[in-house]
Amino acid sequence: MERIRPLAVAGALMAALPAQSAIVIDAAEVGPDVVFSYTGSFDLSGLTATGAVNNNELIDPSTGAILFAGAGPFDAYEVPSLEVFGPGGTAIGTATGDTFNVYTSDIVGFAVGYAGGPISGDLTLSGETFASLGVLEGTYASVAFNGETITLYIGAVVVPLPAALPLLAGALFGLGALRRRR
């Protein structure tokens, strides 16, 4: 029983950590195309819709815009824009999936009525390469005022470190030290 108690405490501490939502966008050259894929969720708590916007299905590396369009207007929220991710201009693509848009003027768009659940989709730029689009490989991020994140990975995908991993490592180290002391 004494061995289980520290594990239970570590588990309870990890469960008490707030879950952080995030949207991750991965860009890759797939055959003759460039595909921007996104997945995740975004908590809109503390953010206010600033209006409705319409859009296309495009990227603009020189302004940090990526638009995964859908039909009709979208609710716009003030969220810092992604960094510029290359010198290229506007390129039109074809999108599938849920509506999600990162605009250049500190605006993020979601489908009207989006309440923070899981979303995913793709934007395919046919017959393009990173070089032809003027896209630079790297990692680009935006953090909303409520702590939510949007991260763009272009090229080699880097798997982010789970937020609770350092806590788990510290707990395991502490358990090892405790056991060694006994």
Question: For position 41, what pLDDT does the model report?
Answer: 94
Question: For position 167, what pLDDT does the model report?
Answer: 67
102 against 179, higher pLDDT = 102
Q: Report domain extents, the chain.
A: 21-181
13 against 178, higher pLDDT = 178
Collapse the DSSP code of 19 into the 3-class scheme (helix H, G, I; strand E, B; otherwise coil) and give the result.
coil
CA–CA distances in Å: residue 29 to residues 26, 36, 51, 125: 10, 9, 34, 10
The pLDDT tens digits of the residues spanning 126-146 come to: 999 999 999 999 999 988 888
The pLDDT tens digits of the residues spanning 1-39 come to: 455 444 444 444 444 444 457 999 999 999 999 999 999
Question: For position 9, what pLDDT does the model report?
Answer: 45
Question: For position 51, what pLDDT does the model report?
Answer: 77
Question: For position 35, what pLDDT does the model report?
Answer: 97
pTM, two decimal places: 0.74
Helix, strand, coil percent content, the chain, rounded in steps of 5: 20, 35, 45
User: What is the rounded average pLDDT for all residues in the chain?
Assistant: 81
The pLDDT tens digits of the residues spanning 146-156 come to: 889 999 999 96
State how far the Cα of 147 lies from the Cα of 12, in Å rounded to an integer. Answer: 23
Collapse the DSSP code of 13 into the 3-class scheme (helix H, G, I; strand E, B; otherwise coil) and give the result.
helix
Question: For position 18, what pLDDT does the model report?
Answer: 44
The pLDDT tens digits of the residues spanning 93-126 come to: 999 988 898 887 788 888 888 888 999 999 999 9
State how far the Cα of 86 lies from the Cα of 93, in Å rounded to an integer. Answer: 17
157 against 86, higher pLDDT = 86
